Amino acid sequence: MASTAPPDHADNAPLLPDVELNLARSKEPVTGRLVGSDLCMNGKSASFVRHIAVDVSGTVLAGRVRPGQSLGVLAPGLDARGKPHKVRLYSIACPAWGEDGQGQVLSMTVKRDLAEHPPDKQAEGPDDHRLFVGACSNFLCDAPLGTQIQLTGPAGKAFVLPQDPDRHHFLFVAAGTGVAPFRGMLRELFERPEGPVRSRVSLVTGSPYRTDLLYHDAFCALAERHGNFDYAQAISREEGPEGHGEYTHHLINRRMHHYRTLLQDPRTLLYVCGLDGMQTGLFRTLAFHGLAHAYVTVPADLAGTDPNQWPDREVRRGLKPTPRTFLEVY
Ligand code: NAP
């Protein structure tokens, strides 16, 4: 049931580093060069997600971005209205030192946007079911190595690792490509020059099918190497341990015996990235287990009532993340 315990986040609010913003704007993008394009699903999947690496050496972006920030990409050509494509944002999926160790090669996790209906105002009515092919994601995924990529950014300053990660523990919760920033953050935590972080770090990812899991082998290998890191997968469209598919918050609820100590620790930070709406189930689950107050403020009219009955609208409107919760959902 929802806890009315006083907030305990004040003393444990993380100190965030200063980050640079908008070094390259859309009127003056920089030009990078595609140097890597690899599928990063877990075998044969019905979706296509690529780990895209871009060399930005010689540009203002080199060495000046962090995981958790985003890069903007300007696809070449014109949109259906004859206007230049708008900037599309992708999370930085590498550590601050890039894929090359020098911050010159930056990476993103790009899923081809393909749907059987135009999911925008161009739709010509309910019978219009032509294939919609997203301009930017498909440009990036089609591009051969060497292609010039127009980039802007970095954007975002609030979804980053704290200045002193050793003072905190971490629960990272991702849906689909929302795992992109966590790939970069995990590499920062475990591959930094001063040696791996000794804090406890948990990653929970959600995917429709096991074949959609992203960077799965790399996360498994990380868990093999580091006893303080664990990795769990919530698969929504396959039969799970309870006989049905599950979302990330269902998995956390089912395995609360595993996560409780981490979530109860006053030094733990919660990072959530992916689909807008995934946070509501998670906040309800935390509240149900009496763990919400550290991560969200619960309004007086909901406190003391059954969190499982809280309507989505009320959760979205009423529950506010504390400084120990980081949300990046679209
Ligand atoms: P996806 O492969 O479809 O996986 C999303 C998973 O989340 C599915 O298993 C889905 O289940 C499940 N899900 C649906 N509703 C949920 C809910 N309310 N709570 C918890 N889980 C839920 O994901 P995707 O297509 O990659 O989309 C990921 C999202 O992350 C997009 O909105 C994207 O904009 C955003 N994002 C992307 C980046 C990036 O850099 N590319 C960075 C940050 C965020 P079912 O489909 O079976 O219902």
User: For the segment 34-87, what is each residue's pLDDT rounded down to a tens digit?
Assistant: 999 999 999 999 999 999 999 999 999 999 999 999 999 999 999 989 999 999
Say if ligand 1 is within 6 A of residue 95 CB: no
Could you give the 3-state DSSP secondary structure of residue 84?
Answer: strand
Q: How many CB atoms lie within 10 A of CB 223?
A: 17
- Structural domain boundaries in the chain: 10-16+158-329, 30-155
pLDDT at 127: 76
Helical ranges in 110-255 per DSSP H: 135-142, 180-190, 216-225, 248-254
For residue 121, count CB atoms less than 10 angstroms from its CB and return exposed for 0-12, middle for 13-18, buried for 19 or more: exposed
Could you give the 3-state DSSP secondary structure of residue 53?
Answer: strand
Burial letters 292-329, b for 16+ CB under 10 A, else e: bbbbbebeeebbeeebeebeeeebeebbebbebbbbbe
Residue 125 pLDDT exceeds 80? no
pLDDT at 285: 98
130: tokens are 């032509």
Could you give the 3-state DSSP secondary structure of residue 231?
Answer: strand
Instruction: Locate the ligand 1 atom nearest the alpha carbon of residue 330 and give its number.
Output: 32
CATH 3.40.50.80 fits 10-16+158-329, yes or no: yes
The band of 2, judged by pLDDT with boundaries at 50, 70 and 90, is very low
**Which of 245, 189, 184 is CA-nearest to residue 215?**
184
Percent of the chain with pLDDT over 70: 94
277 Cα to the center of ligand 1, angstroms:
10
> Fold for domain 30-155?
Elongation Factor Tu (Ef-tu); domain 3 (2.40.30)
Burial letters 244-253, b for 16+ CB under 10 A, else e: ebbbbbbbbb
For residue 83, count CB atoms less than 10 angstroms from its CB and return exposed for 0-12, middle for 13-18, buried for 19 or more: exposed
pLDDT at 6: 46
Q: Determine the residue of 177, 238, 239, 328 to mutate for testing ligand 1's pocket, defined as the one with the most ligand atoms within 8 A of the Cβ atom.
A: 177
275 Cα to the center of ligand 1, angstroms:
4
What does the alpha-carbon distance between residue 183 and residue 108 come to, in Å, rounded to a whole number?
10
The band of 3, judged by pLDDT with boundaries at 50, 70 and 90, is very low
User: For the segment 180-229, what is each residue's pLDDT rounded down to a tens digit?
Assistant: 999 999 999 999 999 999 999 999 999 999 999 999 999 999 999 999 99
pLDDT at 116: 85
Q: On the CB side of 267, how many CA atoms lie within 13 Å of its CA? A: 10
Say if ligand 1 is within 6 A of residue 184 CB: no
Going by CA atoms, what residue is nearest to atom 48 of ligand 1? 236
pLDDT at 124: 67
98: tokens are 């890039």
For residue 296, give the amino acid letter.
V
pLDDT at 129: 82
Task: Using CA atoms of 310, 312, 314, 316 in order, give the dihedral in degrees to the nearest 10.
Answer: 130
Say if ligand 1 is within 6 A of residue 99 CB: no
User: For the segment 242-293, what is each residue's pLDDT rounded down to a tens digit?
Assistant: 889 999 999 999 999 999 999 999 999 999 999 999 999 999 999 999 999 9
310 Cα to the center of ligand 1, angstroms:
22
User: For the segment 141-170, what is each residue's pLDDT rounded down to a tens digit?
Assistant: 999 999 999 999 999 999 999 999 999 999
CB 166 within 8 A of CB 198: yes
Residue 8 pLDDT exceeds 60? no
